[in-house]
């Protein structure tokens, strides 16, 4: 046995540190005690009343004062205990971040410790994820998110909700209250639901009042003329949206932002669709110049960035199905300019494009990408809309509202749930199977109750594939049940009232989002290690069954010893053809694996009561983190080494140039899953000098069915230098997988994985 | 069926003609340019290449040749590539993969199948296929049937030639090739003798191509203080005036990039000065002064 040491993983993907909280530790503790006491007063049967009462403890207290230069308001801090939706800001539902509580405890004087301990003890029983984990983990098979020792990890979270901002802005707060009131008679049994919605909107008004007071206060200080003017406009906007629907770009943006903050939503929808009309009206009337509009957008970007969700913060522009395409495109172009100018890691600025789009938009997008900012990320409507119609079984108009959230999972904006609550490591699974169920990482048996033939007894590659299918089917089916269970647990605890108000069809049905309110109750399953698994399958096929260089038992032995004393064989494995070189024999195994997993995952939806359950191959940096606890694999990858990112070739394995790489990628079907991410890296020199040819390269790939592309323009020399001398490269931004980050903030092995990706120069 | 001796097929080639191309590099060249940046292209046979960074000192290669032409120094095998230029067996002897073969024999069908994988990219970008070398003309017997098939599939074909064609093959290519890349390596016989090993007459080639109405891109390697005298620029200006089938002239500043592998060098390889920005500006002025049209250096358009 080899002694393995696992580098500790944080609870979440955390790359850039957040700003310290504004409130002092003592103030935080007071709020958290009050929150906890409030929570304690209610039973689960009173979840909606409880949610409103708890939210009233937090808001508006958790908003920090505006910063000088802010053009819109709404900076809020997530405390270690509170209410949220996603793991990147607070946590889902009523939550306690035990890691942060431990830190708080160590910072605070002893006299506070027993209070903190009481809180921790209470939340050990009531934190949403704790409740979920209590009954849903499977020993050695299914662990909590992100415990990389398991082949399957699960969680209860509510990621990726996109609100129906058009509804918010069309109605305004009073309008929404009126709408909800009017439904009471239609659904008399939903009085509690409707009351909670109205109370939530009243709380939003309270928050607006808080900000009105703050702006008024600031105006009483001595200010520059410019700043005074900005604040007067802001005050008018806040006063307007307190009751009425917005009439200007600023007030519309402000209302949407405050609403998102209170809902705990961290992806901001098709912004050009819901802000375009306001923008154009202001530009036409002379109320705003383009330069002023860009400043406002940049202020919005800053508020998004400061949340440091790392993997969220999506803003979507472009694409089919916007209400007023012409006006939306005006916003779209200015937003690209701002993204290019501001050079921020968030928002994850996303462009949906299609044949027939205003060509200036793609030109501007390429200009922005050429600066190295990695944005916009490109999504191909001509492929993705059809895919969504098929996988989610919805009509064209509905599918036009698909949006990628977080790392790139598709969801229907304003009318769908698609949170990824299950992840499966396909490579770890394969290494477990190769060793007859025993993970060579920690020597635990991880096939559960499966009765699988021994490796020494199989005589054909097809038999191996059959066993692999059995194993994955078991993992997928267990994951499917856990996923459905996560919704049940959350629904017992939480209404997600703010989210429900702006999610179809909650108001009409008088039901909360997870209680039968949402139009499309979907979910996604993140697959990891796909390409290493495919390369490994090829290695087994070739070395064991075709060329008979090895027996399965010898392969087990070599891998169990991390290739020690078998460097030649490792070299042979590494030198075998790999995915990403347009080599059909190996590419087809990746295709097979993708199709099997997608189809088996999709089949579970009906069994567990979801409208869809779909594979996503959208790795963030968990491909590296999970690689750390994945044993040596037949593709020549040594234990602990990173795995390939999403469907991309293992870093550096694509040696036939970008056409070959993209051809390999295009073989993987995009119409059976809910999102994949593809990275391509060019040197600045190449991208600038050969822009036309590179655009032709992308265009061809998209015509071949490529769903998405993330382009990183970076100099290889810079990456190497930044790896060794981080202090000189603080602003270098790279695309990791489903998110972008400042390179020097990444873990060293993540940096290495990115550095070793093929750079087209 | 004849096979071609090919040392590389480069997909997404962006520097050998218009659009996105696949360039097929044929092995074997009659010239010995001292500045050659792919000397592995020169020998017209398969060569052994060595990557000694992989050597772990196992001595199997040493034992295999019984010590002839291989020495063990500091625990690593040092191979005399003059002796083992063609000892291709060593590839299978070394477990570390230190040896590889430069040059692969491929059939027409094999090459066609690689090329056709990127058909969509050629179509979108106005690209195609380039035959380069080495000296591609030397393997015209192989290229001709290949080119015929590719032409039938509607591909744009480019032929990259050094200007050395003692057998007069160029005329046979005219029916199939759409665009020629032609080297202008020097302006005087002295320089040709000293650095290239043969005297060339690119103008003779240009004449043939002009009468066949074939467009040509001139490619001019520029090596500071070797061939960049005023006579060269005069010569370029003169060709430019006389031949309107020259659609573009590419200046290629000398660089020292080369692959790591060791193999037997057939040319007297020398290292020259890499031009600095001042020198490049000087070249640029020489071009502009003479009003030579459509000259490109490192993707910068120097003159319209």
3-state secondary structure B139-205: HHHHHHHHHHHHHHCCCEEEEEECCCCCCCCHHHHCCCCCEEEEECCCCCHHHHHHHHCCCCCHHHH
Distance CA A279, CA A331 (A): 7
> Could you tell me the residue range of the domain that residue B56 belongs to?
47-102
Searching chain A, which residue's CA lies closest to the CA of residue B8? A656
Alpha helices, H only, A244-358: 249-263, 271-285, 290-306, 325-342
Residue ranges covered by each domain of chain A: 165-417, 422-498+508-681
One domain for residues B124 and B234: yes
Note whether A565 contacts B: Cβ–Cβ < 8 A: no
Q: Cβ distance A480 to A604 under 8 Å?
A: yes
One domain for residues B88 and B127: no
Choose one of B63, B78, B102: the last residue of a domain.
B102
Searching chain B, which residue's CA lies closest to the CA of residue A567? B96
One domain for residues B137 and B27: yes
One domain for residues B179 and B71: no
One domain for residues B10 and B76: no
Distance CA A676, CA A528 (A): 11
pLDDT (tens digit, 9 = 90+) per residue, B70-118?
999 999 999 999 999 999 999 999 988 899 999 999 999 999 999 999 9
pLDDT recorded at residue A15: 60
Give the closest residue to A62 by CA, choosing from A37, A83, A39, A40. Answer: A83
pLDDT recorded at residue A11: 46
pLDDT band of A126, cuts 50, 70, 90: very high
Q: What is the CATH number of the domain that holds B56?
A: 3.30.70.20
Strand-pair category, A416-417 with B47-50: unpaired
Residue B70 in 3-state DSSP?
Answer: strand
Note whether B118 contacts A: Cβ–Cβ < 8 A: yes
The CA distance from A682 to the nearest CA of chain B, in Å, is 13
Average pLDDT, stretch A576-595?
Answer: 97
Average pLDDT, stretch B163-189?
Answer: 96
Choose one of B102, B117, B145: the last residue of a domain.
B102
ipTM above 0.85, yes or no: yes
Q: What percent of chain B has pLDDT over 90?
A: 88
How many helices (H) and strands (E) in chain B? 10, 14
CB contact under 8 A, A697 and B125: yes
- The helix (run of H) or strand (run of E) holding residue B6 is strand B4-13
Residue A679 in 3-state DSSP?
Answer: strand
Strand-pair category, A75-76 with A63-64: antiparallel
Give B-chain residues touching A580 at CB under 8 angstroms.
none
pLDDT band of A611, cuts 50, 70, 90: very high
One domain for residues B30 and B98: no
Q: Cβ distance A154 to A261 under 8 Å?
A: no
- Extract the tokens encoding A691: 């822009």
User: What's chain A's average pLDDT?
Assistant: 95
pLDDT recorded at residue A749: 84
Nearest to A697 among B95, B97, B121 (CB): B121
Burial A332-351, CB ≥16 within 10 A → b, else e: bbbbbbbbbebebbbbbbbb
pLDDT band of A730, cuts 50, 70, 90: confident
Distance CA A172, CA A166 (A): 10
Q: Cβ distance A155 to A86 under 8 Å?
A: no
Q: Cα–chain-centroid distance for residue B208?
A: 22
What number of CA atoms fall less than 13 Å from residue A608's CA on the CB side?
26
One domain for residues B73 and B127: no
Burial A486-505, CB ≥16 within 10 A → b, else e: bbebbbebbbbbbbbbbbbe
CB contact under 8 A, A693 and B125: yes
Alpha helices, H only, A64-190: 98-107, 113-126, 128-136, 165-184
Searching chain A, which residue's CA lies closest to the CA of residue B15? A690
- The helix (run of H) or strand (run of E) holding residue B301 is strand B300-303
Searching chain A, which residue's CA lies closest to the CA of residue B96? A568
One domain for residues B148 and B270: yes
The CA distance from A67 to the nearest CA of chain B, in Å, is 46
Q: What part of A 638-667 touches B (C-beta under 8 Å)?
A: 656-660, 663
Nearest to A700 among B11, B97, B124 (CB): B124
Note whether B10 contacts A: Cβ–Cβ < 8 A: yes
CB contact under 8 A, A663 and B19: no
> How many domains does one find in chain B?
2
Q: What is the CATH number of the domain that holds B110?
A: 3.20.20.70
pLDDT band of A744, cuts 50, 70, 90: confident
pLDDT (tens digit, 9 = 90+) per residue, B207-234?
999 999 999 999 999 999 999 999 999 9
Note whether B124 contacts A: Cβ–Cβ < 8 A: yes
Choose one of B86, B102, B118: the last residue of a domain.
B102
pLDDT (tens digit, 9 = 90+) per residue, A426-480?
999 999 999 999 999 999 999 999 999 999 999 999 999 999 999 999 999 999 9
One domain for residues B74 and B204: no
One domain for residues B144 and B184: yes
- The helix (run of H) or strand (run of E) holding residue A537 is helix A530-539
Nearest to B125 among A656, A657, A696 (CB): A696
One domain for residues B62 and B39: no
Note the pTM of the prediction, 2 decimals. Answer: 0.94
pLDDT recorded at residue A6: 74
- Extract the tokens encoding B209: 């191509």
A606: CB partners within 8 A, 6+ apart? none
Note whether B238 contacts A: Cβ–Cβ < 8 A: no
One domain for residues B149 and B204: yes
Distance CA B195, CA B228 (A): 13
pLDDT (tens digit, 9 = 90+) per residue, A13-44?
556 677 889 999 999 999 999 999 999 999 99
Running DSSP on this structure, what letter comes out for residue A452? -
Could you tell me how many CB contacts below 8 A there are between chain A and chain B? 58
């Amino acid at each position: 046995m080899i002694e393995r040491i696992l580098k500790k993983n944080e609870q979440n993907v955390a790359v850039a540190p957040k700003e310290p909280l504004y409130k002092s530790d003592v103030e935080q503790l007071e709020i958290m005690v009050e929150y906890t006491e409030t929570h304690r007063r209610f039973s689960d049967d009173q979840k909606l009343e409880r949610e409103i009462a708890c939210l009233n403890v937090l808001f508006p207290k958790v908003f920090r004062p505006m910063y000088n230069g802010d053009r819109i308001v709404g900076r809020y801090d997530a405390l270690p205990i509170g209410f949220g939706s996603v793991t990147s800001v607070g946590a889902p539902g009523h939550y306690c971040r035990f890691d942060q509580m431990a830190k708080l405890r160590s910072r605070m004087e002893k006299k506070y410790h027993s209070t903190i301990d009481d809180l921790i003890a209470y939340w050990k029983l009531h934190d949403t994820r704790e409740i979920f984990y209590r009954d849903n983990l499977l020993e050695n098979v299914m662990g909590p998110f992100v415990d990389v020792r398991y082949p399957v990890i699960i969680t209860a979270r509510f990621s990726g909700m996109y609100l129906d901002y058009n509804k918010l802005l069309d109605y305004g707060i009073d309008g929404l209250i009126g709408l909800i009131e009017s439904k009471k008679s239609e659904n008399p049994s939903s009085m509690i639901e409707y009351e909670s919605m109205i109370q939530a909107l009243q709380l939003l008004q309270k928050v607006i009042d808080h900000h009105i007071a703050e702006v008024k206060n600031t105006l009483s200080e001595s200010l520059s003329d410019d700043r005074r003017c900005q604040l007067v406009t802001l005050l008018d906007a806040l006063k307007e949206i307190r009751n009425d629907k917005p009439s200007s770009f600023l007030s519309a943006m402000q209302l949407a932002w405050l609403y998102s903050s209170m809902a705990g939503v961290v992806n901001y929808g098709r912004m050009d669709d819901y802000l375009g009309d306001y923008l154009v009206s202001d530009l036409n009337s002379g109320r705003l110049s383009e330069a002023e509009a860009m400043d406002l957008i940049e202020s919005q970007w800053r508020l998004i960035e400061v949340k440091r969700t790392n993997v969220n913060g999506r803003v979507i522009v472009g694409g089919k199905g916007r209400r007023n395409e012409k006006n939306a495109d005006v916003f779209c172009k200015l937003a690209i300019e701002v993204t290019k100018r501001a050079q921020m890691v968030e928002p994850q600025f996303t462009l949906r494009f299609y044949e027939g789009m205003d060509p200036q938009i793609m030109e501007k997008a390429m200009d922005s990408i050429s600066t190295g900012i990695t944005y916009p990320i490109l999504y191909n409507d001509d492929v993705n809309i059809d895919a969504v119609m098929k996988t989610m079984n919805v009509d064209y108009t509905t599918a036009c509202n698909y949006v990628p959230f977080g790392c790139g999972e598709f969801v229907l904006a304003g009318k769908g749930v698609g949170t990824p609550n299950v992840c499966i490591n396909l490579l770890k699974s394969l290494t477990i199977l190769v060793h007859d169920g025993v993970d060579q990482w920690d020597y635990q048996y991880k096939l559960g109750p499966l009765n699988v033939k021994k490796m020494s007894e199989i005589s054909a590659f097809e038999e191996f594939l059959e066993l692999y299918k059995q194993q994955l089917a078991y993992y997928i089916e267990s994951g499917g049940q856990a996923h459905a269970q996560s919704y049940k647990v959350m629904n017992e605890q939480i209404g997600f009232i703010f989210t429900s108000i702006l999610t179809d069809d909650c108001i009409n049905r008088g039901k909360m989002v997870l209680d039968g309110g949402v139009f499309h109750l979907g979910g996604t399953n993140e697959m990891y290690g796909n390409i290493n698994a495919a390369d490994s399958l090829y290695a087994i096929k070739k070395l064991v069954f075709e060329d008979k260089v090895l027996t399965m038992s010898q392969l087990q032995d070599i891998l169990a010893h991390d290739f020690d004393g078998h460097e030649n064989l490792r070299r042979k494995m590494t030198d075998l053809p790999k995915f990403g070189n347009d080599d059909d024999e190996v590419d087809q195994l990746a295709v097979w694996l993708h199709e099997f997993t997608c189809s088996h995952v999709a089949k579970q939806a009906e069994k567990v009561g979801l409208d869809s359950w779909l594979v996503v191959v959208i790795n963030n940096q968990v491909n590296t983190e999970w690689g750390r606890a994945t044993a040596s694999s037949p593709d020549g990858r040594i234990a602990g080494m990173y795995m390939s990112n999403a469907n991309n070739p293992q870093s550096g394995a694509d040696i036939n140039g970008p056409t070959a790489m993209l051809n390999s990628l295009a073989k993987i079907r995009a119409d059976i899953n809910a999102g994949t991410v593809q990275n391509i890296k060019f040197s600045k020199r190449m991208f600038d000098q050969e822009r036309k040819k590179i655009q032709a390269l992308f265009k061809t790939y998209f015509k071949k069915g490529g769903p998405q592309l993330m382009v990183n323009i970076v100099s290889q020399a810079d990456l190497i230098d930044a790896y060794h001398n981080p202090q000189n490269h603080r602003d270098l931004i790279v695309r990791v997988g489903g998110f972008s980050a400042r390179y020097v903030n990444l873990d060293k092995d993540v940096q290495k994985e990115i550095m070793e990706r093929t750079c087209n120069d | 069926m004849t096979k071609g001796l090919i040392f590389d097929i480069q997909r997404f080639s962006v520097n050998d003609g218009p659009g996105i191309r696949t360039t097929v590099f044929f092995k074997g060249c009659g010239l010995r340019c001292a500045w050659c940046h792919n000397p592995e292209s020169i020998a017209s046979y398969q060569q052994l290449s060595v990557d000694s960074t992989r050597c772990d000192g196992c001595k199997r290669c040493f034992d295999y040749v019984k010590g002839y032409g291989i020495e063990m120094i500091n625990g690593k095998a040092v191979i005399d590539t003059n002796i083992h230029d063609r000892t291709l067996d060593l590839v299978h002897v070394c477990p570390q993969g230190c040896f590889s073969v430069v040059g692969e024999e491929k059939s027409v069908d094999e090459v066609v199948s690689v090329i056709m994988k990127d058909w969509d990219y050629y179509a979108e970008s106005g690209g195609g296929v380039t035959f380069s070398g080495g000296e591609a003309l030397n393997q015209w017997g192989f290229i001709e049937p290949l080119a015929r098939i590719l032409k039938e599939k509607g591909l744009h074909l480019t032929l990259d030639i050094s200007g050395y064609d003692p057998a007069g093959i160029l005329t046979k290519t005219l029916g199939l090739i759409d665009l020629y890349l032609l080297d202008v390596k020097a302006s005087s016989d002295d320089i040709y003798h000293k650095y290239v090993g043969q005297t060339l007459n690119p103008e003779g080639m240009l004449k043939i191509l002009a009468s066949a109405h074939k467009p040509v891109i001139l490619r001019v390697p520029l090596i500071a203080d070797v061939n960049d005298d005023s006579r060269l620029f005069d010569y370029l200006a003169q060709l430019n005036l006389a031949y309107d089938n020259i659609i573009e002239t590419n200046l290629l500043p000398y660089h020292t990039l080369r692959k790591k592998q060791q193999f037997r060098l057939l040319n007297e390889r020398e290292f020259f000065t890499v031009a600095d920005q001042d020198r490049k500006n000087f070249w640029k002025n020489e071009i502009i002064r003479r009003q030579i049209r459509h000259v490109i250096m490192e993707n910068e358009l120097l003159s319209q």
